[in-house]
Amino acid sequence: MVTSRFESWLKFWKSIFKAANVSRITNLGGKEVGDGRPCYVVAEIGINHNGLIDNAKSLIDVAVRAGCDAVKFQKRTPELCVPLQQQQQPRDTPWGIMTYLEYRHKVEFGVEEYAEIDRHCQAMNIPWFASCWDKSSVDLIDQFDPPCYKISSASLTNDDLIKHIVKMGRPVVLSTGMSTDEEINWAVGLLAGTEHIICHSTSTYPCSLEELNLSMISTLRDRFDCPIGYSGHEVGIATTLCALTLGASFIERHITLDRSMWGTDQGASVEPQGVVRLVRDIRAIELAMGDGVKRVYKSEQPTRAKLRM
């Protein structure tokens, strides 16, 4: 009985000590992300530009007008990222029928396009970074001094790629879609010594409500001593706002100029007015959440004097 009581107290004080010393703060390009800080909102452009630089610039402008903290792209070397058995498969595209490999090249930006994106983002005063799917893509993006790297859910089990990204010495954002607990734990272990953020995600486009599993945000917060985020692929923004209230300090949503545009990610994306509402509502919820300390507000005093007996 005494031993049991002692163990309970020991467990209690260990939990208090851990909570007091947990550092859930990561610095992304000079902005702190984590508990007690404003949510870092990322507009995921990905490949929703459909290979057109003007579309990319317009989407950057959408993110800026909405008040997003950063925009994100995706970068692949098609020959390395498209499995051999898929490279020659025919694909019906807006440019006609072509092989899947030809299509991937059609929507892929190179160094010239990213240089133009970098200039535009600097002019609009918004940071940008990318999910890099191979080492060559990491090396290309690194010359633009990104605030961090994103490891996509698809790359979570790519140990060589993760190790290469870690060598860059920048903060890392890890998405955990279509992954087991064991795979997540292993990938996070590879990030040891690196500032990082772990994002809950479900890799279905669009994702049904019953598979969002937003409670995983709390699970990840209990398991890992780093900022926890959410990368959403659902339709609408209500559930993304719920992720904020569960403790997500980094939120990423795909954005699009028009959800009816061609492309696999468009249907799970947020249109311009939705991006405005998303950021507006995130900031409103942050303001409304308060600090959890009960107080009698000055605005309550007249009501208190009138109604209290």
pLDDT at 12: 47
Cα-based distances in Å from 107 to 52, 73, 84, 121, 137 = 8, 12, 19, 20, 15
| Structure tokens that stand for 307 in this block | 């109604």
Mean pLDDT in consecutive groups of 10 residues from the start of the chain, 309 residues: 51 45 82 96 96 97 98 95 93 91 93 98 98 98 98 98 98 98 98 97 96 98 97 97 98 96 91 98 96 95 93
If 0-12 CB within 10 Å is exposed, 13-18 middle and 19+ buried, where does residue 135 land?
middle
Q: What's the rounded Cα separation, in Å, for the pair 74 and 83?
A: 17
If 0-12 CB within 10 Å is exposed, 13-18 middle and 19+ buried, where does residue 246 land?
middle
Fold classified for 36-289: TIM Barrel (3.20.20)
CB 41 within 8 A of CB 279: yes
Q: What's the rounded Cα separation, in Å, for the pair 297 and 295?
A: 6
pLDDT at 303: 96
Q: What's the rounded Cα separation, in Å, for the pair 201 and 183?
A: 14
The domain ranges of the chain are 36-289
